[in-house]
Every structure is written in C-alpha cells, then in structure tokens.
Homo-oligomer: A and B are copies of this chain.
Amino acid sequence: MPPTVKAVDLSSTTAAYHAAGTIVPAGKQLHISGQVGTLRDGTIPADYESQLHLAFLNLRKIILAAGASVRDIAKLNLLIVNYDPADRKHVRHIQRFLGGHRPAITLIPVQQLAVSSWLVEVDAVVAVPEQSLPTTLGQPKGSHTVDVVIVGAGLAGLTAAHEIIRAGLSCVILEARDRVGGKTWSMQLENGKGTIDLGAAWINDTNQSRVYGLAKQFGAELIEQNTEGNAVLQDFDGKCTPFAYGELPNFDPQTQAHLAKIRDMCEADCQALDVWKSRDSKLDSLTFEAYLRSRGASPAAPATATVWTRAMLGQDPRDISALFFLHYCKSGGGLLQMRSDRKGGGQHLRIRQGTQMFALGLADSLPEGVVELSTPVRQIVQSGSEAITIHTSRAGSGSGSGSGAIYAARKLITTIPTPALRAITFHPKLPLSKRAWIESTTYGYYTKAMLEFTAPFWVQRGYCGLAQSFTGPASVIRDTSSPHDGKHILTCFMSGDPGVAWAKLSKEGREEALLAQLEQLFDLSTDSDSDSGVDIRKFFVQLSTYEWSKDEWAGWGCPSTALTPGVLDAVGGEALREPWGDVHFAGTETAGE
C-alpha cells in the first residue's frame, strides 16, 4: 500500500528523523490518548527506557486496532519527565519504532505526568487508510489446487513438504527467492578454496538432533570450532588483553567475580523459564539492560552483556525485553550453552560444504514441481468454508498482486521470518495479537564480514581466533577456517551501533577498519622491525560479506528477530504459534526450542 501520510520538508529539515510537517489525506483519522509505559495489568517499570518501549508498544496496539500502521502516523507528541538535553535516550527508540517513517513530532519536557511513576507519555494523530478489499473472493479460475501451500523454502518449509508428501497429501512451496535455504546460504569462494556461509554457519550434535541428522544424511563434513589457545578482549579504552578460552576476561578480580555473578544470575533466570509459556510480566516490562541494572549490575556488566546480545542478535541490551532475551537463550539451551564454541555449544561445528547443503539436499529429494522459486506470496484470502486463495507475483515486480500465479489450498503453512509477513496482505486481517507481534518484531544490525588470509597468523601467535570487543567495529570475531581447503578465515560479527557505523564506510574503508582492529586484537605490530611484528596486509586476500538488512525476503535483517519489552505480555508467547483458521505459522521464531 502507498503511504497515506506525506512529509512536508524544507531544505533544512530533510535530514531529521521526523518531518517538518505531514499532510494527512482526506479520510478517517485516529486520535490517540496519551499512552504510557505500562503492561496490561498496569505494572510500570521504574526504568525510563523500558517505559519508552512499553509506551510505543501501547501506541502501536491502538494504531493496529484501528486498522492503521505506524507508517500512517501524522503527528507524535512526546511528554518526558526529567528530560536531559544531553542524553536524549528517546531518539533511538522513536527511530526504531518509526522504522524510517517520518511523522511530525513535538517534544514537551514536563515536570510530572498524571501518575508520579510515569516518566514518558506519547500520543498521536494517525491517518486511517481505507480497508483494502481482496483482489478475488473464493477460488478464481486457473488457480493451482493443492492440499497444502507452504510459504518459504528454508529448512522449515522443506522439511514440512517432506512430511506432507509422506502423509499422502499434495503440496507446493512458494519461495520468493531464486534459491532454497532461506538464511542458510553458502557461496563458493572465487579462488576455489571451498565454501563460505553468508548466513547461518554453526550447528552442534548435542541439542540439535534434527539438523545433525540432516548433516549425517547428506554427508556433511564437520569442522570442529577451534578453542585452542587464547581468546582476547578489547576494552572500552581499546586495550586488548588475552585470556584462556572458556575463562572470564582478565578484569580485576572484583570485576571478574561480579561478572561471573551476573552471568550466573542470567543463566539461572533463563533456566527457570518455561520455554513454551513465557509470561513473566515483571521480566517482560524491562529491557535486558534495565534488568541487569535492577539486579545491581556494575557498568562493566552491561558492556559484557552487549557483547552477548550483539553477537547473538545484533541488538543492544537496552533495545530488547529481558524476558525475550532469557527466553531466547533458554530455547538454545541456556546463555552459557548458546555462547559456547565447545561440545553442545551454539558454535561447536561448521559444515565444510556450507549449511545450504541441507536445504539443497531436501529440495532435490522432493518431487518435480513442488518447489516454486521466484514466486513471492502477496495476498492470502481465507473465507471460512472455501479454500484458501494465495496470490503471488513474479519476484521483483513490486507489491502489485494478481500479476503472478494463483494457488488454492485447504491449508497454508508460512515459514518465513515474521517481518517478511508484513509484505503479505491477509483477508480478513490477521487477529490483533498476531498483527501486534508481526509489527513489533525487530532486527538489530548484524552482518558477518569474512576476512580471508593466506595463513592463520593468529593461531601461530597462540590465539584461537575468538575475540570480543567493547569498541568495535567488530563485536565478536571467530575463526571459520577450513584447513582441508587451505582456507583461513576470520569471521567478524558486525553488529549493533559499531556495525551500523562500519557499514557506512566504503569497501576499502571497511577492510581497513577491520584489519586495524585485528592488528590490535592479536597484538600485531606493523611499525616495528622486530621479528614479532606481523604485517596483516601481506596475508589478507579478500573480504566477503552479505547485507541481510537489505534482503527483503529475510524481512530486512538477520539472524533472528527480537522483541521489545511488553510484546510477550501484550500478545502472549503463543500468539505466533496459534493457527489462524487454516493458516499455520512455523519457522525459527515460533519454535520453543
């Protein structure tokens, strides 16, 4: 749908994240009462940033309930208590909430609000678009009829197709991309030195029995993650200190003890959750950062936690719900396990042929015609007794529906990332709780930058390749070499704010920034003539990367979506898993484990 609200700008205002003015078209308008940072039961967190998240969520819920979206906001008024012009925390969260939309905004610092614990309140005027009607009702002529339509040919979609066919039913997988695999995407290096994984890379043989089963089925050669030697930490001052893999970094003993305590607390809270039913509203009212601070974390702890959340989600602790993050860790076996590169850990094993081999193998063993590539789904019409009608378009032809083939099915399973569902029009509209979840999921910034070298100089200097940095540009670095292929690679996880800043550099600037960071991390000295000096540039071959944040079919991000405070409380952890009539929701984000 085209935007309803049009920005009005002067030459001096175009760079601002909000417009100087907006024009609302003739039509219905929504006026919203001041929304504050409360959960459904009235719980209000003491923390300002957590309240910001909840207030924006409450605003979003009303906007959705009225049949509009955040992109239809014409005017926002923001009332802030204890406003600090030197620390405008709200800007980050407004920008993330608006997702690039530019309404008119007025900020009003106030002494207090209606209730003394309220620190922020936001109201809005929103254009309400006309309800769009489905292109067709019922089963149109010339539609392909199957028992089940699956949306998305990632691992979940391909696996589902196999199960459906095994049950004697017919199905088709509609895949928007020209390839299968979703976020598993492996690319041959140009110099013939094997494969790199632009997306998901690691598996393990402990709590990932299904994917490990695929690995055995398709003859994957497994590469164990190198954890020999030292890891290294880059502190806020840029100083780099090695420490034994598996230990805590070499902070002073007091900090180390504190970090261990905080880590163990997170682990305990995480393990105490029920992954299938997460409704601890107190935990969900807080950002992960506010949660840590409310438990007495020192300034060093959030910095460490930032390394965790950036490496796992590309997010910062102040951007995500504490309950969501602990829940996410629990789904992967716990914080310690998800962060581990050893047996049972989240980064234990890589696939020499690349992880896309699973999807390619599953697709090859499906009957001819089941996988339809380059076929984005644009509209799903469900009218009760009749079959579901699915309208597609040719990939790249924009959001116009009706320009591609039409399918009819008794059931539909969507396996695509939640944000990608925003591009599909449902008739009738999805229930409010599902729309609230779909609209509230966020990606952080997350890109893997893979630097290929002619030799593993870090191993030669006693490092395992694992590095963590409080400064960036890379937050975390891991060795993703394949010694059999003579392939020596350090994969830099570019995420969060430092990742965003890095992504703005030129190709040469990006390379140079990472090489300079690696020099620091692995204590290479280029200006010295001593024998210990290593000129990293002599080893450097090439940088490979893929911007998932520019990938429409990934929902503009990777690796996994996260939730801001309050979303689990508002919609229930079950909202995405629940079917909507004959439409079922599956995939990474709906899995409990």
Q: Is A123 an interface residue (CB 8 A)?
A: yes
- The contact sample of 24 A-B pairs, CB cut-off 8 A, is A8-B66, A12-B40, A20-B33, A21-B33, A22-B30, A22-B31, A24-B30, A25-B28, A26-B26, A29-B74, A33-B75, A33-B104, A33-B105, A34-B105, A34-B106, A75-B123, A79-B108, A83-B112, A83-B114, A85-B115, A107-B114, A109-B113, A110-B110, A125-B125
Question: In the complex the two chains form, is A66's CB within 8 Å of B33's CB?
Answer: no
Q: Is A121 an interface residue (CB 8 A)?
A: yes
Cα A12 to Cα B566 in complex, Å, equals: 14
Known contacts A21-B31, A29-B24, A85-B115, A109 near B107 by CB under 8 Å: no
Cα A353 to Cα B20 in complex, Å, equals: 55
Q: Is A516 an interface residue (CB 8 A)?
A: no
**Residues on B with beta carbons closer than 8 Å to the beta carbon of A30:** 8, 21-24
Interface mask (A16-44 → B, CB under 8 Å = 1, otherwise 0): 00111111111111111111000010000
| The one of B28, B34, B112 that contacts A23, using a Cβ cutoff of 8 Å | B28
Question: In the complex the two chains form, is B109's CB within 8 Å of A10's CB?
Answer: no
Chain A contacts to B: CB under 8 angstroms:
8-10, 12, 18-35, 40, 61-63, 65-66, 74-75, 77, 79, 83, 85, 88, 103-116, 121, 123, 125, 128
- Give the interface centre of A31, A110, A123 by most chain B CB atoms within 10 Å: A31
With A23-B66, A109-B112 given, name 15 new contacts (CB 8 A): A9-B65, A10-B61, A10-B62, A21-B62, A21-B63, A21-B66, A23-B29, A26-B27, A29-B29, A31-B103, A75-B123, A83-B114, A106-B121, A109-B111, A109-B114
Cα A66 to Cα B104 in complex, Å, equals: 13
Measured CB to CB, the nearest residue on chain B to A130 is B26
Cα A20 to Cα B55 in complex, Å, equals: 12
**Residues on B with beta carbons closer than 8 Å to the beta carbon of A27:** 26
| The one of B9, B77, B85 that contacts A106, using a Cβ cutoff of 8 Å | B77
**Residues on B with beta carbons closer than 8 Å to the beta carbon of A22:** 30-31
**Residues on B with beta carbons closer than 8 Å to the beta carbon of A66:** 8, 21, 23
Cα A125 to Cα B18 in complex, Å, equals: 16
A265 to chain B, nearest CB (A): 31
**Residues on B with beta carbons closer than 8 Å to the beta carbon of A26:** 26-28
A219 to chain B, nearest CB (A): 53
Question: In the complex the two chains form, is B34's CB within 8 Å of A24's CB?
Answer: no
**Residues on B with beta carbons closer than 8 Å to the beta carbon of A105:** 33-34
**Residues on B with beta carbons closer than 8 Å to the beta carbon of A88:** 114
Cα A75 to Cα B62 in complex, Å, equals: 14
| The one of B12, B107, B123 that contacts A113, using a Cβ cutoff of 8 Å | B107
Question: In the complex the two chains form, is B112's CB within 8 Å of A85's CB?
Answer: yes
Measured CB to CB, the nearest residue on chain B to A33 is B104
**Residues on B with beta carbons closer than 8 Å to the beta carbon of A32:** 20-21, 104
**Residues on B with beta carbons closer than 8 Å to the beta carbon of A103:** 31
Question: In the complex the two chains form, is A34's CB within 8 Å of B107's CB?
Answer: yes
A202 to chain B, nearest CB (A): 41
Known contacts A26-B27, A74-B31, A62 near B8 by CB under 8 Å: yes
A69 to chain B, nearest CB (A): 14
- Give the interface centre of A8, A35, A111, A121 by most chain B CB atoms within 10 Å: A8
Measured CB to CB, the nearest residue on chain B to A35 is B20
